[in-house]
Structure 1
Amino acid sequence: MKRSSIQRTVKSLLNMRDRIRFDLPFQRNSVWKKDRRSYLIDSVIRDKYIPNILVWNNSDGYVWVVDGKQRWESIFMFHDGDYRLSKGTADFQNEVIANKNHEELSDDAKFEFLTYNFTVTEFSECTVEEVEEMFYRVNQAEPLTYTEKTRVKLSPDVCEVVQELSSHLFFEKIAFTKTDRNRYVDEKLIWQFLAYISGSDIDYSGATLNAFISNLDEVPVAITEQVEHRLEFLDAAFRKWNSKLRKVLKKVHVDTLFQIVEDAEKCAITKERFGEWAASFLIDRYTVYSPYGQLCQKGAASKQFILKQKNCMLEDLKSFEGECRNE
């Protein structure tokens, strides 16, 4: 691995913007809030110290950002007018810059912004695994999840399938937190779905799910279609739920709901009826002291525990609907 440092002005970054890539597989989503982005721009205008940006040169013509995505994104977004400086930003050289976007700054302030020098440390002659390790080392205060670590190992085809499935409309109905989305919890659910449909004998702890993902070279079309079918069923089942009801549709319930879709269809339970039962089970009759509520509070990920959740939910569904026609 070779390492060298260079200086890049904001103006030069804007000129080479098309070559800058923020999408290394292990890279986190955009997580900075506007106040934090504003503080960075304020530091740029005042020529304050900002830590080095780490990039990877793998000789493909692109500049792959390893550490510093939030900082450079903030630069580009401010230049594009996507946000304003915070209302509490102090004056700069007798100019009021608070609540201003880039275009509204004076020529002097713009000059300071465009001529700020970032120190860029470039790494070359190294593998993506070495780059990932470097990313982990500089971010060890907030360790990567198993899902984040494993994304780097995916083939492009598998990655595309997972991203397409996680963009399904049903995922807009799930009550993900911002942290969930930033840590790819939606993709983790897809992995759980794929593992379940594939009949893989694993639990859902990080290590075993990671092993399943790492060994997946492709996703068979038949598996993808089955996952899509169940997502369509769930999307239709919860379509009538308003935003208030959807706050109850948390990730802890989703995988089990996904699993029992097959049982619901075998019992000829319609999507609408499934949604009505879910409202009764998860809202009207749910408490932390109920058998299912107790299971949710424990949050275990073993096969036996997940099976208990499934059986508890399935038993209630059949009781709600009446005896299965085929029994």
Structure 2
Amino acid sequence: MNNQVVNASEEEIEGMGKDEDASLGDYPIDTVLIRNENRTVHDVLRRIEKGSFVMDPDFQRDFIWPEDKQSKLIESVLMRIPLPVFYLAENSKGHMVVVDGLQRLSTFQRFVTNEFRLKLPDQAELNKKNFQDLSPKLQNRIEDCNLILYVIDAKVPAQALLDIFERVNSGIPLTRQQMRNCLYMGMATQFLRTEAATQLFLQATGGSLKPTTMRDRELINRFCAFQLLGLGDYRGDMDAFLARTLESMNILDIPAFDKLSAAFRTGLKNNVMVFGKHAFRKHVPDQEGRSVFNASLWDVMVTGLSQYPEHLVEARAEKLRAAFFPLLKDHDFVESITLGTNQVTRVKCRFARTKTMFGEVFGDHAG
């Protein structure tokens, strides 16, 4: 077994599987429902204020433009230079999620509310002025600026929506989990954010999952998917599986979230108890350095050990380790957590092998 040992600052994630190319698959090419609308800056800002437009705060703050770039946008509007189109996606609640144009809309919002002054040293008439300092004529020119919006219909399937999202986004590229965080914002995404911030999660994952790319929330999303929808609902498309999970979570009640959180934290505690710093990583007995974090090992181990009470896992920790290490010498199992890990056969293989292992160690004592 090849265990790549790395420093924490250099860690990458193994066993994630590859995102599909933005191909739209077999979705009928003439039924991708996109309509165009023309709205003024004033109208759009009013809708943002009302909450009709979703400006995701979870990653918006990480991608804010510098003020000189924001100033150039305002200057372009004042000079009547046409702006690129904006892309929005309509969600199931009728809200508009900003797919492409988040920074431009954020800039309009910040400037009109006097949150920054223009940095345009070559424009004496505008330099160091905020919105309220401009003449009524120039204020009107900004608020009356016409924006061309392309709106992706809510009926577009999740996979096609993510592919469109990926194709049209012209700003800083977003990860698929960041896209999902926009599209399925609600109780589900709040749950992911809360669990990713716990000390227990950071300890269990060794700080290997980057919050800035929401990789941490993606792994929690994977746990929720296999825990709630189950292996039988997985059809080979991880993106669609995770999206369905968030949709289903958004209609759960508080007791259901409490139960999910308790199971998740039990799974984390049990893995840390048994494997310590090597949890969710390929390793051998008495190994010193940590191997890379393995997302496929995470799927089966955090889900599997969430089913057993902590006192039982503690009592049988040595027996579990003795059963676990041979798995990492099993060719089929190692392949299932290393290569083509999103394939249905590989997913079923790793879950079947670990289920057998847990059965041997714990019998029928699952909760």
Quickly name the TM-score band, shorter chain normalised. 0.5 to 0.7
1:204–1:301 Cα contact (<8 Å) kept: yes
Residue-pair matches, total: 293
Structure number with the bigger relative contact order (C-alpha 8 A, sep ≥ 6) is 2
Q: Residues 262 and 15 of structure 1: is their aligned pair in 2 closer, same or farther, counting only changes over 3 Å? A: closer
Q: Name the counterpart of 2:225.
A: 191
Question: Which of 18, 37, 45 is matched with 2:49 structurally?
Answer: 18
Distance 2:307 2:164 in 1: 46
How far the C-alpha of 1:94 sits from its partner, in A, is 7.7
Query: 1:255 aligned to 2:286?
Result: no
Q: Residues 37 and 243 of structure 1: is their aligned pair in 2 closer, same or farther, counting only changes over 3 Å? A: farther
Query: 1:43 aligned to 2:87?
Result: no
Question: Which of 220, 224, 228 is matched with 2:261 structurally?
Answer: 228
SS in 2 for 1:47: helix
Q: Residues 183 and 68 of structure 1: is their aligned pair in 2 closer, same or farther, counting only changes over 3 Å? A: farther
Q: Residues 207 and 268 of structure 1: is their aligned pair in 2 closer, same or farther, counting only changes over 3 Å? A: same
Unaligned runs of 5+ in 2: 1-33, 281-289
Higher mean C-alpha displacement, 286-295 vs 29-38: 286-295
2:271–2:302 Cα contact (<8 Å) kept: no
2:268–2:302 Cα contact (<8 Å) kept: no
How far the C-alpha of 1:79 sits from its partner, in A, is 7.6
The superposition leaves residues 169-218 of structure 1 with CA deviations (integer Å, 9 ceiling, x where unpaired) of: 3565344333345995643542232112xx63534534873796599596
The superposition leaves residues 273-314 of structure 1 with CA deviations (integer Å, 9 ceiling, x where unpaired) of: 59x96xxx89xx999998765433214224442243345556
Higher mean C-alpha displacement, 234-243 vs 171-180: 234-243
Q: Residues 268 and 56 of structure 1: is their aligned pair in 2 closer, same or farther, counting only changes over 3 Å? A: closer
Alignment of 1:141-180 (within 5 A): 141=168, 160=186, 162-169=188-195, 173=201, 174=205, 175-177=208-210, 178-180=212-214
Distance 1:128 1:185 in 2: 26
2:117–2:128 Cα contact (<8 Å) kept: no
Q: Name the counterpart of 2:121.
A: 92
The superposition leaves residues 55-84 of structure 1 with CA deviations (integer Å, 9 ceiling, x where unpaired) of: 6899x9987656422322244457889999
SS in 2 for 1:5: strand
Identity fraction in percent: 9
Q: Residues 318 and 3 of structure 1: is their aligned pair in 2 closer, same or farther, counting only changes over 3 Å? A: closer
2:269–2:310 Cα contact (<8 Å) kept: no
Q: Residues 310 and 141 of structure 1: is their aligned pair in 2 closer, same or farther, counting only changes over 3 Å? A: same
Distance 2:355 2:113 in 1: 51
2:270–2:305 Cα contact (<8 Å) kept: no
Distance 1:37 1:288 in 2: 51
How far the C-alpha of 1:231 sits from its partner, in A, is 0.8
Q: Name the counterpart of 1:120.
A: 147
Distance 1:93 1:17 in 2: 32
Distance 1:325 1:135 in 2: 42
